[in-house]
Amino acid sequence: LLYERHGEPAAVVQLKDLEVPKLGDYDVHIKMLAAPINPADINMIQGTYPLLSPLPAVGGNEGVGEVLEVGHRVTALKPGDWVIPADAGLGTWRTRGVFPEEKLLKVPSDIPVLCAATLSVNPCTAFRVLADFESLAPGDSVIQNAANSGVGQAVIQIARASGIKTINVVRDRPDLPKLVERLMALGADHVVTEEMLRKPEMKDIFKSTPRPRLALNCVGGKSTTEMLRHLQPKGTMVTYGGMAKQPVMVPVSAFIFRDVRLGGVWMTQWRKDHAQDQGSVAGMMDALCQLIRRGQLTAPACTEVPLQDYRAALEASMKPFVSSKQILLL
């Protein structure tokens, strides 16, 4: 799926037949199996993301493929292995591709294909926000908005596996009871709407759950200010998205009297910073794959779409209140 200019995805993305490039000594020929449509993919096509691929570009930053053939200097991969992108900008919305070996990470082929296809962005972000800012112990709690997003669903499951409680904030919507049920089934301890953050009922939650030391923000605007209010003194709020397209507003008192800290995480930057530290990348991937194998981490709610229906998938991925990730089957 190629785009030659930036603009609205359904208008600029086209399905094109291209020649598969010749296999070089250090190259790997892969057959893509499945690739999701993430918000960052949409923003890259629109031309509004901080990282843009040179045009013409193939869409997609995430997905899983099977190795068909390797160049004769490739050492770490062999035909039949499963691989995911080592970094953003690979262009995963395609049936075949030839990539340098260092652009790919091997993943176990005994995990479900949808888990592998959605492994490199949301679960990694969830893992980093839970690991890098506060040392959380079993019994501690975190609060997060956009709890039904891909990252939100992964946070609930990774936290649950570590004995950490989650307070999950979602926008009010017509099918709210169904969404609450789904998040509770994933292991959420509490699910509240943005409006409830201001209500006295929050006190009831804190009778059984300690106030959070960590707040995870993917929205911005009012939702964030309200969430921040429930953070423990010296707590940390980490921002990894801004779906409301509004700034984060923090009362001065939160800094002075409660010594709240603010941070941010961008997986692309984290990978750049750790490019020489393969141990921490491998450690994170291992931990996530172990959780998947044990059934403690599942793929987010997905809608599987054949490649030729890509326009419908692009449009569906941009609708509000969609709790299902569109996955292109390649």
Q: How confident is the model at residue 175, as a pLDDT?
A: 86
Q: Which CATH class is domain 2-118+299-329?
A: alpha beta
Specify the residue for token string 């291209």: 18
pLDDT at 144 over 90: yes
The Cα-based distances of 191 to 160, 195, 250 in angstroms read 14, 12, 23
Residue 49 designated active-site? yes
Band (pLDDT 50/70/90 cuts) for residue 243 is confident
Query: For the chain, what percent of residues have pLDDT higher than 90?
Result: 82
Averaged pLDDT score across all residues of the chain: 93
In the predicted structure, residue 320 carries a pLDDT above the cut 80: no
Query: Does residue 152 register a pLDDT over 80?
Result: yes
Angle between helices 122-131 and 150-161 (to 10 degrees): 50
Report residue 278's pLDDT band, with 50, 70 and 90 as the boundaries. Answer: confident
pLDDT band at 244 (very low <50, low <70, confident <90, very high): confident
Tell me the domain boundaries of the chain: 2-118+299-329, 121-267
Q: What whole-number percentage of the chain has pLDDT above 70? A: 99
Least confident segment among 17-31, 90-104, 111-125, 217-231: 217-231
CATH classification number, 121-267, choose in 3.40.50.2000, 3.30.70.2170, 3.40.50.720, 3.50.50.60 = 3.40.50.720
Mean pLDDT of 92-99: 97
Catalytic residue among 3, 49, 240, 310: 49
pLDDT score at 277: 86
The string of pLDDT tens digits covering residues 190-209 is 999 999 999 988 999 999 99
Identify whether the C-beta of residue 144 lies closer than 8 Å to the C-beta of residue 215. yes
- With beta carbons less than 8 A apart as the criterion, state whether 328 and 314 touch: no
pTM for this structure? 0.92
Higher pLDDT pick, 245 / 288: 288
